[in-house]
Structure 1
């Protein structure tokens, strides 16, 4: 899951949660106030009950409530789809065995490997079934040199994972002396489209 997807997911989850909590608090307050003391919390209890019994299905207020419920349902469906785990299939050790790995796990490994290279101040990694993209900040290092060092380190790290097909590796270095991009292409792309990112 990319950074933009995670932000959208968190914002959507927070919005839906706030709406549901607000509706629950208002509804409970209305019911308790009406049953216990007979006070009118938001809408007079008797009028609220009578309105539910007499309002037609094609009333504009009913249509607005239906549209709001539909929007909330779509948002919940979006949250469910985005939170579904997306895994990359790996080479099976034997027939009948299915092995998968989370892209975020690979992104974490590559980020830590990158930040262990001397001269790298910080790094981020984005991984899917066909590409591993690493962006690193090396303020004092020469970008061409450090990008080659980083490419060798990360290529070795990727080869330790039993991929069905090794993904391409793209290393981008940013420093005070400029920037550099190194791309190592595999023989062919991997099947699948799971994606994740790891940022510090």
Structure 2
């Protein structure tokens, strides 16, 4: 959306500048040659004036023009609000100092940390001020956990239990990184994993 705004802003600026130049030319021409006929030097504004004099607020062309202008203005407002910066605030190092980072930079840092794990083959990360979402794929790592003495299980008492930990390890890596960053507001972490079927 920012790309659209960056394209529209200079185009609208050039259009307004051109309209201003044409207006100045027509005004100066009317001052220098007052009372002479013609529809204007560059812009046939006298013909436009005669055409507009025949239009009323209730006529169809005026209504259509108003609707088109209103929709165009609404679209411009939506584009401007959608393109505003969504910076992630950091803890200020000193009073009256504001420090921010971009959501893209935060997502890159989280992505590097997650992909550095041996059990992760790939990951995509989206981040904002309020949330960090991680979608990772990899292999389930298992840890051998002996059953509790009073646990009810069909396995023999001395048989260990394997517990998958990929989602937990990814979440732990993300939480550890967020602990190390000087974020002013702690974002929520959402993790989804896809387990690869082939062995590592």
Q: Runs of 5+ in structure 2 lacking a partner?
A: 16-43, 142-163
Going from structure 1 to structure 2, the CA distance change for 1:52 and 1:136 (only over 3 Å counts) comes to same
Higher relative contact order (CA 8 A, sep 6+): 1
CA distance in 2 between partners of 1:79 and 1:104 (Å):
20
Task: Map 1:118-133 to 2 at 5 A.
Answer: 118-133=118-133
CA distance in 1 between partners of 2:181 and 2:133 (Å):
16
Conserved 8 A contact 2:119-2:140: no
Cα shift at 1:63: 0.6
Shift >6 Å, 4+ stretches: none
SS in 2 for 1:121: strand
Alpha-carbon deviations, 1:89-138, whole Å to 9, x = none? 22111222222222222112212322332343332223233332211122
Q: TM-score, normalised by structure 1?
A: 0.57
Conserved 8 A contact 2:121-2:137: yes
CA distance in 2 between partners of 1:119 and 1:157 (Å):
18
CA distance in 2 between partners of 1:136 and 1:159 (Å):
20
CA distance in 2 between partners of 1:67 and 1:10 (Å):
26
Q: State the partner residue of 2:31.
A: none
Cα shift at 1:75: 0.4
Q: State the partner residue of 2:140.
A: 142
CA distance in 2 between partners of 1:125 and 1:119 (Å):
17
Q: TM-score, normalised by structure 2?
A: 0.57
* 1:155 correspondence with 2:153: no
CA distance in 2 between partners of 1:96 and 1:64 (Å):
51
SS in 2 for 1:124: strand
Higher Rg: 2
CA distance in 1 between partners of 2:182 and 2:118 (Å):
27
Q: State the partner residue of 1:197.
A: none
Going from structure 1 to structure 2, the CA distance change for 1:115 and 1:53 (only over 3 Å counts) comes to farther
Conserved 8 A contact 2:89-2:185: no
Task: Map 1:41-120 to 2 at 5 A.
Answer: 49=48, 51-120=51-120
Q: Runs of 5+ in structure 1 lacking a partner?
A: 1-8, 25-44, 178-200
Aligned residue pair count = 140
Q: State the partner residue of 2:35.
A: none
